[in-house]
């Protein structure tokens, strides 16, 4: 087989494997909004955007519902936790670009881990640095509580545009890390960006439809 043909065949195989991997990973959507979210820990205005779940496989039940909203300046994360264990935190992992996930697959400067301590309101952490612009609000609801997060898109290396896709995972840690729930996978899925799910920023014309 000529060398040029072999290279083309190899590239075709790599492309197939990458596309198959992308299609096999779960996809969430950040819904575009024209009006600014009321940032107060209440999730009344989120409506159907809270359509994803963190699942307790052992007990076959949801432990949290969550969703994403965005405008041209900020990304919002809303989480409704179905637990009265108020000691814990959320880990939100974001990968700056698809390129980051499909090359080295490990943590680099373009990958982010955001930690929110729900019981103390500690500042969020990105790459070990304190980022004042990222805020979190909580509000108790019955036997559970809401968590509302907002982050300027400029904290990401590449500011996401409508219809762009980034990698993410979400982890809820309760009861002194004794309980951990992941949107996808387990510990390996937050250490390796190739195992992340995907977050798509919906087109701006779809809001309210």
Output 3 or 74, whichever has higher pLDDT.
74
Question: Does residue 84 carry a pLDDT above 60?
Answer: yes
Distance in angstroms (rounded) separating the CA atoms of residues 85 and 54: 15
DSSP 47-114: GGG--EEEEETTTTEEEEEEEEEE-SSEEEEEEEE--S---EEEEEEEES-HHHHHTT-S--TTEEEE
**Residue that the structure tokens 């090359």 belong to:** 103
Mean pLDDT of all residues in 20-33: 74
Q: Which domains does the chain have, with CATH numbers?
A: 26-206 (2.60.40.1190)
Distance in angstroms (rounded) separating the CA atoms of residues 162 and 202: 6
* Tokens matching residue 69: 């909203």
Mean pLDDT of all residues in 95-109: 46
| Whether the predicted model's global pTM rises above the 0.85 cut | no
Q: 55 Cβ partners below 8 Å, 6+ apart?
A: 61, 62, 63, 181
pLDDT tens string 35-70: 778 899 899 889 899 999 999 988 889 999 999 999
Distance in angstroms (rounded) separating the CA atoms of residues 53 and 70: 19
Output 14 or 179, whichever has higher pLDDT.
179
Confidence of residue 16 (pLDDT cuts 50, 70, 90): very low
């Amino acid at each position: 087989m000529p060398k040029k043909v072999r290279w083309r065949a190899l590239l075709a195989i790599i492309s197939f494997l990458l596309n198959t991997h992308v299609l096999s990973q779960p996809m969430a959507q950040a819904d575009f909004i024209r009006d600014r979210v009321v940032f107060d820990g209440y999730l009344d205005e989120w409506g159907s955007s809270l359509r994803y779940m963190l699942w307790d496989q052992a007990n076959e039940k949801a432990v949290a519902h969550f969703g994403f909203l965005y405008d041209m300046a900020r990304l919002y994360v809303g989480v409704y936790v179905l637990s009265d264990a108020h000691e814990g935190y959320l880990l939100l992992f974001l990968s700056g670009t698809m390129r980051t996930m499909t090359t080295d697959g490990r943590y680099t400067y373009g990958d982010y881990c955001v930690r929110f301590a729900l019981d103390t309101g500690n500042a969020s952490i990105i790459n070990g640095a304190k980022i004042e612009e990222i805020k979190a609000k909580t509000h108790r609801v019955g036997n559970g509580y809401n968590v509302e997060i907002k982050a300027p898109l400029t904290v990401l290396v590449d500011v996401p545009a409508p219809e762009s896709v980034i990698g993410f995972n979400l982890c809820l840690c309760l009861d002194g890390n004794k309980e951990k729930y992941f949107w996808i996978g387990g510990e390996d899925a937050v250490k390796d960006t190739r195992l992340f799910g995907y977050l798509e920023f919906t087109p701006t014309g779809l809001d309210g439809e």
